[in-house]
Structure 1
Amino acid sequence: MPNAAPEIRTFLCRSDNIGVLIRDPGTGACAAIDVPEAAPVLATLEAEGWRLTDILVTHRHADHIEGIPEVVERTGARVTAPEKARAAVPGAARYIGEGDRVTVGGLEATVWETPGHCADHITYHFGEARIVFSGDTLFTLGCGRVMEAEPATLWRSLVRFLDLPGETAVYSGHDYVLSNARFALAAEPENAALQARAAEAERLAQEGRFLIPSTIGTEKATNPFLRAGEPALARAVDLPEGTDPAQVFTALRAWKNRF
């Protein structure tokens, strides 16, 4: 018998980080995906009456881990972190890499190594629940900045998301939606689905909300970085139709860096 659908709460941390809690209603186990800032995580736990059992780290950058010590002190949660981030996240209960499995009560995730933004970045894919926590690899209408690799490395990481079912929910690590939408419209102004998505993002922002989670299907239709194989995106960066999508992605990412 399949597990009950997980309960998920999202909330802002710092200025634009997205805090996420995922809870298995069957067991009460609850995990935070990263801890950008302790106070919002603790406040959400208190408001929901949830007990934190785990912290799942996507990568070592300070804006994703700096709240961990306080939250661990307050909750006793177990920390799981990328093996390649061992030095930056000392004292974790477990270090993980490609193909490992992580459980939160009855919920199970497969670990993907998704380098590009940084060398240690991982993604948690809860396949049965159709949920993926993409950290700073894939954003709503965007992708992470390439910091510790060639752009093609991040492109290979992003390609993995294209094979997921369209209804898979994507929880990213930052709310960059409005700036991403402006760039996406500059790159593909005739995309009607993108136009509608950008308008939705503006409306939600005016209501104090954000467009996270997204879905893989929506991102495939609107996110220029996942659409690097489309002729319109090659034309947008002055490359011939049929150019290797990795080259189109590289040009798009360089344009976004200047945008």
Structure 2
Amino acid sequence: MSNIQIHLFPCLSDNYGILVHDPDSGRTACIDTPDGEEIARQCAAKGWALTEIWNTHWHPDHTGGNMLLKDRFGVTIYGPGLIEGRIPGIDIKLGEGDTFDFGGHPVRVMETPGHTNEHIVLYLAAAEACFVGDTIFTMGCGRLFEGTPAQMWGSFSKILALPEQTKLYCAHEYTLSNAKFAVSVDGDNADVLAAFDRAKAMRARGEPTVPTTVAAERLTNPFWLAGSAEELGRRRKLKDAM
């Protein structure tokens, strides 16, 4: 295992900011930019010099701080390059199967359409971590704004094929709402019920329910437990109507 450090912090109304720091090289990445000023404050508090941004998709609560941080710190912006013009300030365009270096550690790119057509996730094996944006949430998944249930099912399949101990850093604190829905469709599943209880206790203590793990989501995520793309789509419509 490397000594890569990951720092998670709340920002905006329900987003998480995520900083990834490699002390050997001094490089620091932020995963998406929900709040540029808060990201800058968190870097200063940690004593880390921001060197890069890794964007997962184009939505404004994921790219809104790109230009502030690029103008202030001269960072390099990595992001999905499938659809031109969506990622402000992008320098390095990424797609399925690409890898890039972070302090001597490879970062693998997987395309995970569904929430948006060009969504990517970033797997940093050295930290046993995958930064999943809005594809997978703890006990949930992103709305299908642009993609199809079949695409989202394929995206889930890629992520949940990673080693079971892999930590999944999702971008929002939606777990209590997700868990309530999971109980409504899988209420006879003891793992789901136990996960709901854990989430309630964690939030009552003010603790984040992020990251989750591949192992946990295989057991408790209602969109994976759906078992098929068709049922995932049906469940997503039910969740959207709640």
Normalising by structure 1, we get a TM-score of: 0.90
Total equivalences in the alignment: 242
Structure 2 partner of 1:218: 216
Structure 2 partner of 1:167: 165
- Kept in 1, the 8 Å contact 2:4–2:127? The answer is yes
C-alpha distance in structure 2 between counterparts of 1:90 and 1:200, whole Å: 38
In structure 1, the gaps of 5 or more residues are: 230-244
AA at the equivalent of 2:27 = A
AA at the equivalent of 2:33 = V
C-alpha distance in structure 2 between counterparts of 1:80 and 1:150, whole Å: 25
Bigger radius of gyration among the two:
1
Structure 2 partner of 1:207: 205
- Kept in 2, the 8 Å contact 1:162–1:220? The answer is yes
In structure 2, the gaps of 5 or more residues are: none
2:112 corresponds to 1:114: yes
Q: CA deviation at 1:5?
A: 3.1
Identity percentage of aligned residues: 38
What does the per-residue CA deviation read over 1:140-174, in whole Å, with 9 as the maximum and x for residues that have no partner?
00001001122111111111122111100000011
- Kept in 2, the 8 Å contact 1:178–1:198? The answer is yes
Structure 2 partner of 1:128: 126
AA at the equivalent of 1:48 = K
- Kept in 2, the 8 Å contact 1:140–1:176? The answer is yes
- Kept in 1, the 8 Å contact 2:57–2:87? The answer is no
C-alpha distance in structure 2 between counterparts of 1:197 and 1:5, whole Å: 29
Alignment of 1:126-205 (within 5 A): 126-205=124-203
Q: CA deviation at 1:90?
A: 4.0
AA at the equivalent of 1:257 = D
2:213 corresponds to 1:247: no
AA at the equivalent of 2:64 = E
C-alpha distance in structure 2 between counterparts of 1:257 and 1:103, whole Å: 38
- Kept in 1, the 8 Å contact 2:63–2:88? The answer is no
Q: Secondary structure at the match of 2:82?
A: helix
AA at the equivalent of 2:229 = A
AA at the equivalent of 2:218 = K
C-alpha distance in structure 2 between counterparts of 1:102 and 1:19, whole Å: 21
Q: CA RMSD in A?
A: 1.3
- Kept in 1, the 8 Å contact 2:67–2:88? The answer is no
Structure 1 partner of 2:67: 69
